[in-house]
Amino acid sequence: MALRSLDNALPVLPSERPKKQPKVAAAAAMKQQPDLVRVNDENKPPVPAPAPSNADATIDYIPSENLKSIDDPDVRIHGLIGGLESKDWLKVCESLNDARRFALYHSSLLLPILDKVMLIIVKAMKNPRSALCKTSIMASSDIFKAFGDKLLESPVSDAYDPLLLQLLLKASQDKKFVCEEADKALKAMVESFTPLPLLHKLKSYASHSNPRVRAKAAVSVSHCISKMGLEEMKEFGLISTIQTAAELLNDRLPEAREAARSIVVSLYKALTENEEEKQEVWQSFCQSNLSAIHAQAMLKLVSS
């Protein structure tokens, strides 16, 4: 009995203890069940894994000058809307490029369905997929070049208003390559439209509550004003224009302030051709229509 008790009291030697699974082996075992681990981790996407972030790189962004005309356009036009409404985003991008080709080379075929096409373009601009968004913005540029003032006529004008807002929003975002493309589209818009009717569309956005949208609209307004003569400026409203510029001069964003300065210079140059009277006429105009502090700022701006 004493010997049995002694045996039971003996310590277990290290070699006799149960072996722990090595960390390396445990890690390997975890790797054998990646799907299980991913599913149980709420901070990671479920299986199947999402497409890699560079998936949009499969899209070719074709410059307008490299687009070709369409073979059998009379036949192809009937499938355009269906392609634009496809659930496959790659098919939508392809159809957007077709819409660009129709605009540039077969505009008469596109015109009857242009309002529907533009609404689909607006929807594509809202899509979080960058490739789809950028391609739709490029499509808007080519439509501006092809149709110009026709976009302000009914029924297409109903689709133009949401398109303009989306372009201003996309030009205001942080994603650089989308923002740059939207800036190009807004520039193409100003170059393709008659300034006066476009200004009526842009006017409300120059006082938008979103400072970035306000700044982008101010830039387009300044480009329109720079293309106008005095009579067109008078028709649009000299007083309302100088008051808008005065407000933008104090805007929080430098882009808006620079646009305001451009508007002021355009007004100053157009107001009179008589250089000797220009300063006096400008001073009288500003003092009659602005507060004293704003009038002083206008006089200082043109004198510098």
Q: Which residues contact 9 (CB under 8 A, 6 or more apart)?
A: none
% of residues, the chain, pLDDT over 70: 81
Structure tokens at 171: 């030009």
pLDDT band at residue 272 under the 50/70/90 scheme? confident
Please list, residue by residue across 39-64, b when 16 or more beta carbons sit within 10 angstroms of its beta carbon and e when fewer do.
Answer: eeeeeeeeeeeeeeeeebeebeeeee
Radius of gyration of the chain from its Cα atoms, rounded to whole angstroms? 32
pLDDT band at residue 36 under the 50/70/90 scheme? very low
State residue 4's pLDDT score.
46
Task: Return the minimum-mean-pLDDT range out of 82-91, 164-173, 264-273.
Answer: 264-273
Are 214 and 258 within 8 A, CB to CB?
no
Question: Residue 135: which of 98, 172, 164, 168 has the closest Cα?
Answer: 98
Q: How far is CA 276 from CA 187, 282, 295, in A?
A: 35, 11, 20
pLDDT tens digit string along 214-233?
A: 999 999 999 999 999 999 99
Average pLDDT, whole number, for the chain?
Answer: 86
- The pTM for the full model equals 0.80
Structure tokens at 122: 């607006």
Q: Given a cut of 70, is residue 26 above it in pLDDT?
A: no
How far is it, in rounded angstroms, from Cα 29 to Cα 166? Answer: 50
How far is it, in rounded angstroms, from Cα 241 to Cα 9? Answer: 100
Name the CA dihedral angle for 106, 144, 157, 233, rounded to a multiple of 10 degrees: -140
Return the ∠ at Cα 186 (arms to 290 and 63), rounded to 5°: 160
Averaged pLDDT for residues 272-290: 91
pLDDT band at residue 58 under the 50/70/90 scheme? low
pLDDT band at residue 275 under the 50/70/90 scheme? confident
% of residues, the chain, pLDDT over 90: 75
How far is it, in rounded angstroms, from Cα 74 to Cα 214? Answer: 42
Amino acid at 191: E
Task: Return the minimum-mean-pLDDT range out of 12-16, 58-62, 175-179.
Answer: 12-16
Q: Given a cut of 50, is residue 47 above it in pLDDT?
A: no
DSSP reduced 3-state for 63: coil
Q: Which residues contact 271 (CB under 8 A, 6 or more apart)?
A: 230, 238, 278, 281, 282, 285
The enclosing H or E element of 297 equals: helix 292-303
pLDDT tens digit string along 107-141?
A: 999 999 999 999 999 999 999 999 999 999 999 99
State residue 9's pLDDT score.
46
State residue 162's pLDDT score.
96
pLDDT tens digit string along 236-266?
A: 999 999 999 999 999 999 999 999 999 999 9
Question: Residue 147: which of 184, 180, 99, 81 has the closest Cα?
Answer: 99
State residue 60's pLDDT score.
83
Complete domains list, the chain, with CATH: 70-193 (1.25.10.10), 194-304 (1.25.10.10)
Averaged pLDDT for residues 178-207: 96
